[in-house]
Amino acid sequence: MSVLAPILEQTVGKIRFGVDDVKSAQERLPTTNAKFQLEKQLGKQLLAFSHNDTFEVIPDQGIHPLALAVHAAFSEHRPLLLTPDIIWITLAQGFAQHINNHAETLRSRLVPHQGKEKLIVGTLQIDSQPQYWSETVQKWVLQIRDRVGADLYRLLECNFSTTTPITQTASHVVMMNAFQQYFDYAVSCVCGIPEITLLGTVEDWQSICDRVQIMAEYDLEWWTARLLPICREFVETASGKPSLEFWRCIYKPKPVYGAELITGWLTDLFPYLRDLSSLTKAASVRNWILEIDRCELPNASSSEAWFEQVIRGISAERLPLGISQAPFELITPDEKEYSLELLAGFIGVHQDSEQQTLQPEIGWILRERSDRFAQLLDNIQQQHLTQPPVNRSELYFSSTGVVPKEHIQMLERFDGATLYADSGHSWQIPKYIDRKDCTISNPISFRDDATHLIDLEDGRCIAYVYKPHKNECLIFVGRPTLAREPLQDPVIIAQSIPELLERIFQAQGRYYFDDANFVTDSNPI
């Protein structure tokens, strides 16, 4: 039987216990305004925020707030507070990443329709108050529930004894993020943690165990098998039997306290890691630490020699940032459209004013989407024929620097599309794997490799030449000949992929470059 951690306080739905034999820090960590920090991170003014404008968090370090809270508690000798909502939001976001990474594989098990269905929430008046947006989100997820079923709805929703209106709304936005491939949304050095407080009833933590077992049914056994022992320890702790060894291994076992990698079971809560080699840095890479049996990893009783021999862990920057996004369109009574976005999840780490206890803080925000290119891609997905997105794990070519980020963003939305089908002037975007090799003849540089982008109905094609050192992308139209032979009569028709799409839509799908008044861009390669 494992040694139990000393219990400092225990009431219904709460247990506080000692972990490491270190003295709690007395001085407060510096804090900053949460809303200001989020606006700085996002580069946009917040239109609505779950918390009040004076809410404080410790300064962001660009990593997941749960990891930041555990790291700060561990390295700064601070008490830590965890709730079922904190752990479940983390796991639900991992589940959402799995669905987004394998949307078409899982489609038939999640939704009955093909493509994307638009879920519209009607409203008489737009309000910036948090209560209004919480109710709007609730209306969206009830529509999702009607389509995916009550079981999946209950699986993802926070409904624990510790759940607040804020954390429940955040879980609803995570749900919207999970199903965004199927729906569009619109509205007309010795360190240690001195003590840990675990909130929530035994029933709350058992509910998370049960949910994890359900998640396994969606091709996630490789993750859930590792989660279940952790979940059972949460149940044991809530029952008044906290395992000292388990909680001492949340971050890193003692022999590697000075190392930079996270080696504790905290890493097991994340099924996917960020691909730092890709332009989007999406959480699309399987967490490799899950492939190593926990018993083969160093633990609190391992020798320092063992740690020197086995250096395995995850850097904090590889963890997802803990924010889920759900874009939607706002349509006003005068039929003006605004592109907005809900973000929810972990907004920072809050510090208690009395004991300096650290707690990952859950919240949500509303902002305007000013990314015009994202709006153009929205238009394609909503009004034209698109194929499923490319599997994000296949986007390793992005690290070569020869593909502009806009092409990556297109592929993450759809891998193949037809614009203005049956119009007599359609634009066929082939799957990336089906692209043709082509070149552009240039008297200055002799010949440039070009990337095939679009086929036209009259046999011509559109390709681009990308010069990453100049951050230059020129779009050509011409007639293909033999493989690797230059396009015949190439003409520059745009100087970026966004400009090309903008011109296509402005011309309502007509081949605008065939107009007698069209003036070609003359920028040389």
DSSP secondary structure string for all residues of 277-288: TSSS--EEEE-G
Regarding whether 391 and 350 lie in a shared domain, the answer is: no
> Which of 341, 370, 399 is where one domain is finished?
370
Regarding whether 456 and 390 lie in a shared domain, the answer is: yes
3 falls within a domain: no
Model confidence at 217: pLDDT above 80: yes
**pLDDT (tens digit per residue) in 360-416:** 999 999 988 767 888 899 889 888 999 888 765 555 443 344 688 889 888 888 889
> Which of 370, 389, 404 is where one domain is finished?
370
- How many domains, the chain? 2
Regarding whether 503 and 415 lie in a shared domain, the answer is: yes
Question: Residue 81 in contact with residue 362, Cβ under 8 Å?
Answer: no
> Which of 354, 370, 386 is where one domain is finished?
370
Regarding whether 73 and 176 lie in a shared domain, the answer is: yes
Regarding whether 406 and 362 lie in a shared domain, the answer is: no
519 falls within a domain: no
Regarding whether 227 and 114 lie in a shared domain, the answer is: yes
9 falls within a domain: no
Regarding whether 280 and 170 lie in a shared domain, the answer is: yes
Q: Where are the alpha helices (DSSP H) in 239-364?
A: 244-248, 304-309
522 falls within a domain: no
**pLDDT (tens digit per residue) in 92-148:** 999 999 998 888 899 999 999 888 898 988 876 777 788 989 999 999 999 999 999
| Phi, psi dihedral angles at 173 (to 5 degrees) | -70, -35
The greatest distance separating any two alpha carbons of the chain, rounded to the nearest whole angstrom, comes to: 85
**pLDDT (tens digit per residue) in 269-302:** 999 998 877 656 778 889 988 988 877 665 555 5
Model confidence at 442: pLDDT above 60: no
Q: Which residues pair with 427 in a beta bridge?
A: 419, 456
DSSP E strand boundaries for 287-397: 323-331, 337-351, 358-368, 385-386
Regarding whether 244 and 112 lie in a shared domain, the answer is: yes
Enter the pTM of the model: 0.72
Question: Residue 347 in contact with residue 376, Cβ under 8 Å?
Answer: no
441 falls within a domain: yes
Please report, for the domain that includes residue 402, its CATH number.
3.40.1580
12 falls within a domain: no
Cβ-based neighbours of 153, under 8 Å, separated by 6 or more = 141, 144, 145, 175
> For residue 510, what pLDDT is reported?
93
**pLDDT (tens digit per residue) in 234-244:** 999 999 999 99
Regarding whether 41 and 93 lie in a shared domain, the answer is: yes
Regarding whether 342 and 385 lie in a shared domain, the answer is: no
Provide the domain limits for residue 160: 19-370
Model confidence at 195: pLDDT above 70: yes
Regarding whether 410 and 327 lie in a shared domain, the answer is: no
Regarding whether 119 and 44 lie in a shared domain, the answer is: yes
Model confidence at 446: pLDDT above 50: no
Model confidence at 259: pLDDT above 80: no
63 falls within a domain: yes
525 falls within a domain: no
Q: What's the chain's length in residues? A: 525
